[in-house]
Structure 1
């Protein structure tokens, strides 16, 4: 399989979707470096797409050294510097069409095996969750909320941070995100030992999660007020259903995105006595792609 993947990545075999994405984005960026083909939003889209294609190839079994070799070969291809040639024009048109189609999408779902990351790039004045993963009775992602007290609901007072909210009142006084520590456990860890044991909580999503000897724990930095939690849970200014929630440090989503797509992390809730009340599982999935897409410009976008 790796040999076939490498051949496809450098153009010597019929490519799969991931391999085709790798090739067209690598070729487009190589041609752009020589010919200045794309507007900045298009270039950023292609860079994000190339990074995702590399992750997909790695997940499919291709060694990073072979991916780098394929990329170097594409960059060294002198045909990519022939700015007026038909091949370069065709590559540019294909890449630009894909970029424009995505850049014009205000929202997009990044579907995983068990969960979906949903991205909304419209203005923060109207969006509560630019990046969101939903689970039963709970939400986690990058949230936009208004601090209390703020009786006039001033737009310039809105705050953006990783957050977790659950439906209903809770006795939880603290929350901890538990994920794999790459320094202690360098590779994704199968908690079922290849199917010999049940996954944590009997949840299939938790099969690849932090082992006891390789945990990293990130503590919530603040607790959301009931009003802010209600608004984030319902995405409404006049939310009435009770809710609870916590804010996490800014680097939280980046730490999660560095894990493998098939992994999961847990948010554990504790009461004042230190007793664990509940545990919620988050699928890593295509979080990095979701973050990359969320960072791309949307309003006022145009192409040349």
Structure 2
């Protein structure tokens, strides 16, 4: 027997059509949007409704709605339950259902405009990830957040090398660029963040702000190499700096953090000192999915 769409699922159909035609940043309204997007993605996994670029867009949108819900105070447990309900509903719907065919056709048509979006800001509580998909003939930031350590600017995110040149991992590379003032170069750099295996939930203050847990519940990801930074990756007004490259696993671990959480980039010097720049996890996972759609 063919199972039809309930009122709840019909709303997901409408939401799917709307989200494909509207920038991701326009959606930030919590668990209802998260349910809708999770349902549509689950229906795709079952029925193969969309081509890869559409799936990438929906994945970015779903991750961003998850971040919005967490920042609004929804718990991880509640979001997990919401996702389970959405996937359960998708399992019940027939792939031959005409409403799903409507989703496939209208979302794919509407996505033609969405795919041309070149830049997007993914705003967090205290910081912003800026994503840029414009094709360039110079080294560039595909995704970046800015911070400082002392008087020295630090940029962190996904950088892309000059087309045709050697790159650490090909494509975008997880990188930190720093321009130190009046001191020698560090000998190493590392990312520091909560380890979900040691602290399952983010550490929140009474005011609801996330902080780093004690050192015993943290994890580190060490840099994989360094090189002089291209001028196009430097902070405005700087003429020199170093790029520190990190393995892809660093981005994967960052994606699993609560969007409210801070993480650190630390630079280590031979005199034993450590220079620290603080960043916010924010919607890194959503922004990375948006960048993965490719250049325009």
* TM-score using structure 1 length: 0.71
Higher alpha-carbon deviation: 209-218 or 42-51 = 42-51
Q: Is the 8 A contact 1:180 1:215 kept in 2?
A: yes
Q: Which residue, out of 22, 32, 35, partners 1:22?
A: 35
Q: Classify the secondary structure of the residue corresponding to 1:155.
A: coil
Q: Which residue, out of 211, 217, 221, partners 1:218?
A: 221
Shift of 1:164: 1.0
Shift of 1:105: 0.7
Paired position in structure 1 for 2:233:
232
Paired position in structure 1 for 2:262:
264
How many angstroms apart in 1 are the aligned matches of 2:86 and 2:104? 20
How many angstroms apart in 2 are the aligned matches of 1:164 and 1:127? 14
Q: Is the 8 A contact 1:165 1:233 kept in 2?
A: yes
Deviations 1:18-73 (A, max 9, x none): 41353266247637955x65433223322443454456556623241342123211
Q: Which residue, out of 127, 133, 150, partners 2:145?
A: 133
Q: Classify the secondary structure of the residue corresponding to 1:282.
A: strand
Counterpart mapping for 1:8-47 below 5 A: 17-18=29-30, 19-20=32-33, 22-23=35-36, 26-27=39-40, 30=43, 34=47, 37-47=49-59
How many angstroms apart in 2 are the aligned matches of 1:157 and 1:115? 31
Distance 1:8 1:117, change over 3 A: farther
1:142 has 2:158 as partner = yes
Q: Which residue, out of 69, 75, 83, partners 1:67?
A: 83
The Cα RMSD (Å) is: 3.5
Q: Is the 8 A contact 1:25 1:95 kept in 2?
A: no
Higher alpha-carbon deviation: 211-220 or 162-171 = 162-171
* TM-score using structure 2 length: 0.73
Q: Is the 8 A contact 1:30 1:74 kept in 2?
A: yes
Q: Is the 8 A contact 2:41 2:55 kept in 1?
A: no
Q: Classify the secondary structure of the residue corresponding to 2:234.
A: helix
Q: Classify the secondary structure of the residue corresponding to 2:259.
A: coil
1:274 has 2:272 as partner = yes
Paired position in structure 1 for 2:164:
155
Paired position in structure 2 for 1:288:
285
Q: Classify the secondary structure of the residue corresponding to 1:224.
A: strand
Paired position in structure 2 for 1:183:
197
Distance 1:33 1:219, change over 3 A: closer
Counterpart mapping for 1:198-213 below 5 A: 207-213=210-216
Shift of 1:139: 0.5
Q: Classify the secondary structure of the residue corresponding to 1:130.
A: strand
Paired position in structure 2 for 1:122:
134
Q: Is the 8 A contact 1:178 1:218 kept in 2?
A: yes
Q: Is the 8 A contact 1:141 1:163 kept in 2?
A: yes
Paired position in structure 2 for 1:302:
none
Larger radius of gyration: 1
